[in-house]
A = this chain, B = another copy of it.
Amino acid sequence: MSGRTFNVAIAGATGAVGEVMIELLEERNFPVKNLRLLASERSKGRRLKFRGEEIPVEVLTKDSFSGIDIALFSAGASRSREFAPAAVDAGAVVVDNSSAFRMDPDVPLVVPEINADAIGNHKGIIANPNCTTIITIMPLKPLHDYGRVKRVVASSYQAVSGAGAKAMEELRKQVEDFVAGRDLKIEVFPKQIAFNLIPRIDTVQDNFYTREEMKMVNETRKIMGDDSIRITCTTVRVPVFRAHAISVNVETEKKISREKAMELIDAFPGCTVMDDPANDVYPDPLFASGKDDCYVGRIREDESIENGINYWVVGDQLRKGAALNAIQIAEVLIEKYL
């Protein structure tokens, strides 16, 4: 990177993902010249710390991007649709964490460990995949490379952070009210989330799958570059703060033993195998929270089909599921293409 530095903007800087983006730019020594923090009118006047400095939050407008080299967006799909083109027009490359452009054929959808090369095809915007999709497919990729994945059946256990900072606050508040014997307030989620499960994330499509579920189907194929992979899934919100877990059943063309699967997954960058369940070695969301890797355990041959593997993967939703993956994309971008 030879001492070059870049002007970076974060759109959605005060959100749960935006705050982790700031944290990671500092932690990973990203070569930031100037950092511009953008958010909605609501957050005007706030100041956020970066490298010991207090940076004022500015209001996100179409004029926010002059001089910006890299714009990291995490302000929701409608704001991305509204403001990302302006950032591109101003000369920035956008890494967008929303669903707005993910399935656009002109927009690369990237998990750097899986398809970093796609970054080179960008036309101004690079999309960051859905959090649950990223975490699910990190261990899937080495299995696919070795044995070709034919079909995936996944059930998710998704933390409240995926619904934003207010959702995290709602879980915290509901638990406080529960302990105090007060009535629980339901505002962000459609039902109480404390001590409960909500088997609907995002809106419901005509085929009765949710958008969250169809993201996993469609984004997985695009990132893996293989439309023949068949996928079905059920996505569920659980009362956990910030790491997602997914129970994944995989059918492959070629037989993969448990030992081979463990070896393949552990050798894959960004994945760590934790798998000695008899001694309580398996990943759990509390363990994975605040960490960068996807942790994989409960790897077992599935005896119900000829070539099957089950695994359980846990990853921090705010890091690898969102902010970290976006910044890894930006790192490849500056190293190879800027």
Residue-wise, chain A 276-302 has the 8 Å CB interface mask toward B (1 for contact) of: 011010111110000000000111111
- A50 in the interface, Cβ–Cβ < 8 Å? no
22 contacts between A and B (CB under 8 A): A151-B304, A152-B304, A153-B153, A175-B175, A191-B280, A191-B284, A195-B241, A195-B285, A195-B286, A196-B285, A197-B284, A198-B284, A199-B282, A199-B283, A204-B278, A231-B304, A232-B302, A232-B310, A234-B247, A236-B247, A238-B238, A239-B240
Min Cβ gap A59→B in Å is: 34
A305 to B231, CA, bound (A): 9
A199 to B308, CA, bound (A): 19
Instruction: Find out whether the CB atom of B232 lies under 8 angstroms from the CB atom of A304.
Output: yes
Quick check: which of A5-13, A91-99, A120-128, A207-215 contacts chain B, the rest being far away?
A: A207-215
What 12 new A-B contacts, CB under 8 Å, besides A153-B302, A232-B302?
A153-B249, A175-B175, A179-B179, A197-B314, A199-B283, A199-B312, A204-B278, A207-B303, A208-B258, A208-B300, A232-B249, A232-B303
Min Cβ gap A21→B in Å is: 24
Interface residues on A, range: 35 or more
A152 to B304, CA, bound (A): 8
* Copies, count: 2
A204 to B157, CA, bound (A): 22
Instruction: Find out whether the CB atom of B208 lies under 8 angstroms from the CB atom of A312.
Output: no
Residue of B nearest to A245 (CB): B197
Interface residues of A in 257-282 (CB under 8 A from B): 258, 277-278, 280, 282
A232 to B302, CA, bound (A): 6
The residue in A195, A210, A231 that gathers the most chain B C-beta atoms within 10 A of its C-beta is A195
A282 to B191, CA, bound (A): 11
Interface residues of A in 289-338 (CB under 8 A from B): 297-305, 308, 310, 312, 314
Contacts of A308 in B (CB 8 A): 232
Contacts of A232 in B (CB 8 A): 249, 302-305, 308, 310
- A176 in the interface, Cβ–Cβ < 8 Å? yes
The residue in A192, A196, A209 that gathers the most chain B C-beta atoms within 10 A of its C-beta is A196
Residue-wise, chain A 31-63 has the 8 Å CB interface mask toward B (1 for contact) of: 000000000000000000000000000000000
Interface residues of A in 122-157 (CB under 8 A from B): 151-153, 155, 157
Contacts of A171 in B (CB 8 A): 195
Q: A240 with B196: in contact, given A153-B153, A286-B191, A310-B234 (CB under 8 Å)?
A: yes
A-side binding surface: helix, strand, loop or mixed?
mixed
Min Cβ gap A318→B in Å is: 15
Contacts of A179 in B (CB 8 A): 175-176, 179-180
Q: Identify which of B157, B298, B301, B310 contacts A157 (C-beta below 8 A).
A: B157
Residue of B nearest to A303 (CB): B232
Q: Identify which of B199, B210, B286 contacts A297 (C-beta below 8 A).
A: B199
Contacts of A209 in B (CB 8 A): 300
Min Cβ gap A187→B in Å is: 14
A336 to B260, CA, bound (A): 54
Min Cβ gap A63→B in Å is: 39
Min Cβ gap A144→B in Å is: 15
